[in-house]
Amino acid sequence: MDFDEFAGRYVGDLIRLGMAMTGSQSDAEDFAQAALERIFSQWGKVESAENSWAYARRVAVNAFLASRRRPQVREVLGSASSRSEPASDPIDATWGDGSLDAAISRLPKQQRAAVVLRYFEDLDARGVAEVLGVEPATVRGYLTRALATIRSECYPTANGAS
Amino acid sequence: MNTSDNLGPEPDIEGPLRAALIARAAHADLSRARQVVDRSRGQVDGARPAASRNRAIPAFRRPGILLAAAAAVAAVAAWPVLAGGPNETSASDPQTTGSSRPPVSTDGSTDCLSGLVVGDSAYRLALGPAVRTFPLSEPVGKGTIPTCSEQDESLGGGRAVVIYELQGVPTSQAVLVEDSEGEGNLFLSLDLTSANDVAPGLEQLLKEMRISLPTR
């Protein structure tokens, strides 16, 4: 498999992962592009990796964590006719006022990455730790804090959370 | 679902959280996936120098754009709203002092403008001895730096850019242009003292740079 084939196969997955991570189409595309740039520059390693998607995912997440993109920046336009932008808040349709989506976006990057890897990519603590390059205990800490934050923001009166 | 490793302290939020993330991903627009791949190749093949967010985009050094930028800064300094507006910080702001440089290099051989994106949400622009801070809007447009020559290409032509409004300043009068990798930025405006002529001039410049602006 050469780079073009690899990129063609995984760019959609990278954009979706970027959407889960950022909630923004433009940021998701940037996320995928940054990942592919890094992958291209170290293609030899990617090519020989046992699980190429796992490698690509790790590269993408680490590029995201190293980036300095603006938090919660949402694409406003572009060529309107060329886009099929979702509703202003993509989670609105499934989650009331969108507070959960907003709470996710407000999480610190490390916590957000851990949450996405855990609940979107469905990795266990060890898997998340491998992607992030930290110990599983650290991942558990990220997740505990992230869930506590989300719970307190979305369910301020539930379960005694404040 | 793998929940056997006891990661979450309570189960109540996990289901909705998972649903929310999946809903986000489901809204991904993949129609430009091919462009993302192409841009990633272009970025890497360009063998550009190491990134620096505070470096102006090299392609902007082209004389026409440099001229516009130089005129812009002079005009900004003369424009009362920008020079003394209520939202600006003073030159004594500890975060900006020391990082400011003249915003325009007179010989055009180095960065044509100098500003500093601060805290990912504001643009700090050196105006002579003063430093002004403008909160940034969300992106209001995007485009591509044109590639007119091989040299342009090697300097970064073809790179995607995003533009932002400087809050409190009409988009027709000033914008921040930043490459989509966050590696360069440029404050753009035209003669702010003759407002009637501003919008067409800036729009023409942005059109030349293939940057789209919202319909006003």
pLDDT of residue B73: 43
CB contact under 8 A, B41 and A124: no
The pTM for the full model equals: 0.48
Residues in chain B with pLDDT values less than 70? 1-12, 42-136, 143-161, 166, 168-216
Residue A119: which of B14, B34, B212 has the nearest Cβ? B14
- A77: chain B residues, CB-CB within 8 Å: 139-142, 212, 214
Q: What 3-state DSSP class applies to A120?
A: coil
Closest by Cα among A46, A125, A73 to B180 = A73
Tokens representing A145 are: 């804090």
A142 band by pLDDT with thresholds 50, 70 and 90: very high
For residue A3, what is the enclosing H or E element? helix A3-22
- Is the pLDDT score of A17 beyond 90? yes
pLDDT of residue B13: 79
Minimal-distance CA residue of chain B relative to A146:
B8
Q: Comparing B169 with A56, which gets the higher pLDDT?
A: A56
ipTM for the predicted complex = 0.80
pLDDT of residue B99: 25
Residue B13: which of A29, A116, A150 has the nearest Cβ? A150
Most distant CA pair in chain A, distance: 54
For residue A121, what is the enclosing H or E element? none
Site of tokens 């995007």: B142
Q: Comparing A71 with A44, which gets the higher pLDDT?
A: A44
pLDDT of residue B78: 39
Q: Within 10 Å of residue A48's Cβ, how many Cβ atoms?
A: 9
- Reported as a single tens digit per residue, the pLDDT across A93-111 is 234 456 788 899 999 999 9
Alpha-carbon distance of A142 to A111, in angstroms, equals: 5
Residue B22: which of A40, A85, A120 has the nearest Cβ? A120
- Reported as a single tens digit per residue, the pLDDT across B124-147 is 544 434 445 666 677 777 766 666
Minimal-distance CA residue of chain A relative to B119:
A70
